[in-house]
Structure 1
Amino acid sequence: MELTPVTEATRIILENTIDYGTEYVPFDSANRRVLAEPLVADRDFPPFDRVTMDGIAIQWQSYVNGQRSFRIESTQTAGETQQTLTDSNACIEVMTGTSLPVNTNLVIRYEDLEIKEGVAHLKTTVNEGQNIHYRGEDRMVGKIIIEPNTPLGPPEIAIAASIGATRIGVKKLPTVVIITSGDELVSVEQTPLSHQIRSSNVHCIATLLKEYQINVDFIHIPDDLSTTQQTIQIALTQYDVLILCGGVSQGKKDFIPKALQAEGVEKYFHKLSQQPGKPFWFGRKGNNVVFALPGNPVSSFMCARRYFIPWLRKSLGLSPMDTMYAALSEDYTYTSPLTYFLQVQLFQEGATLMARPITGHGSGDFANLVNTQGFLELPKEKNEFHRGEIFPLWRYDFGS
Structure 2
Amino acid sequence: MIDIKTAQELVLLHSSTITKIVEFKIENALDYVLALDVTSEIDMPPFRQSAMDGYAINKANHSTYSVVGEVKAGDNNNLLLKVGEAVRIFTGAPVPDTANAVVMQEKVTQDDSLINIDGEIQDNINIRPRGEQIKEGDIALVKGTVIKGSHIGFLASLGVTKISVYQKPSIAVIVTGNELVSPGKSLAFGEIYESNGVMLTAVLNELGYKNSSLIKVKDNYETTKKSLSEAIKNHDVVIVTGGVSVGDYDFVSKALKAIEVEEIFYKVKQKPGKPLFFGKKENVSIFGLPGNPAAALSCFYIYVYPLLKKSEGATTTNLQRIVIPMISNYTVQGNRAQFLKAKIEEDGVEILEGQSSAMIRAFGNANALVLIPENSTQIQKGENVKAILLPNK
With structure 2 as the length reference, what TM-score do the two structures score?
0.93
3-state secondary structure, aligned to 2:47: coil
Alignment of 1:26-41 (within 5 A): 26-41=25-40
| Deviation of 1:396 (Å) | 3.5
Identify unmatched segments of 5+ residues in structure 1.
Answer: none
| Deviation of 1:106 (Å) | 1.2
In structure 2, the residue matched to 1:266 is 262
Code of the residue aligned with 1:39 in structure 2: it is: V
| Deviation of 1:78 (Å) | 1.9
Alignment of 1:6-17 (within 5 A): 6-17=4-15
1:209 to 204, 209, 213: 204
In structure 1, the residue matched to 2:306 is 310
Asked whether the 8 Å contact 2:337–2:371 carries over to 1, the reply is yes
| Deviation of 1:343 (Å) | 3.1
With structure 1 as the length reference, what TM-score do the two structures score?
0.91
Asked whether the 8 Å contact 2:320–2:388 carries over to 1, the reply is no
Alpha carbons of structure 1 residues 37 and 383: separation in structure 2 relative to 1, 3 Å: same
Q: Deviations over 1:46-105 (max 9, x none)?
A: 111111222222112x1xx22x22222122222222323253222222222222113221
Q: Deviations over 1:16-62 (max 9, x none)?
A: 222112211111111222222222111112111111222222112x1
Asked whether the 8 Å contact 1:46–1:136 carries over to 2, the reply is yes
Q: Deviations over 1:330-377 (max 9, x none)?
A: 44444634222233344343xxx23335244x2112224335443322
Identical residues among aligned pairs (%): 27
Identify unmatched segments of 5+ residues in structure 2.
Answer: none
1:367 to 345, 361, 366: 361
The total of aligned residue pairs comes to 389
Alpha carbons of structure 1 residues 81 and 209: separation in structure 2 relative to 1, 3 Å: same
* C-alpha distance in 1 between matches for 2:366 and 2:78: 62
Asked whether the 8 Å contact 1:57–1:104 carries over to 2, the reply is yes
CA RMSD of aligned residues (A): 2.0
3-state secondary structure, aligned to 1:48: coil
2:393 counterpart of 1:394: no
3-state secondary structure, aligned to 1:231: helix
| Deviation of 1:205 (Å) | 1.8
* C-alpha distance in 2 between matches for 1:343 and 1:102: 60
* C-alpha distance in 2 between matches for 1:329 and 1:111: 49
In structure 1, the residue matched to 2:72 is 77
2:303 counterpart of 1:295: no
3-state secondary structure, aligned to 2:32: coil
Question: Structure 1 residue runs of 4+, over 4 Å off?
Answer: none
Code of the residue aligned with 2:260 in structure 1: it is: G
| Deviation of 1:384 (Å) | 4.1
* C-alpha distance in 2 between matches for 1:330 and 1:123: 58
2:110 counterpart of 1:115: yes
Q: Deviations over 1:239-288 (max 9, x none)?
A: 11000010001211100011111111100111111121111110001110
Code of the residue aligned with 1:75 in structure 2: it is: E
Q: Deviations over 1:279-299 (max 9, x none)?
A: 111000111000110101111
3-state secondary structure, aligned to 1:325: strand
In structure 2, the residue matched to 1:275 is 271
2:161 counterpart of 1:166: yes
3-state secondary structure, aligned to 1:343: strand
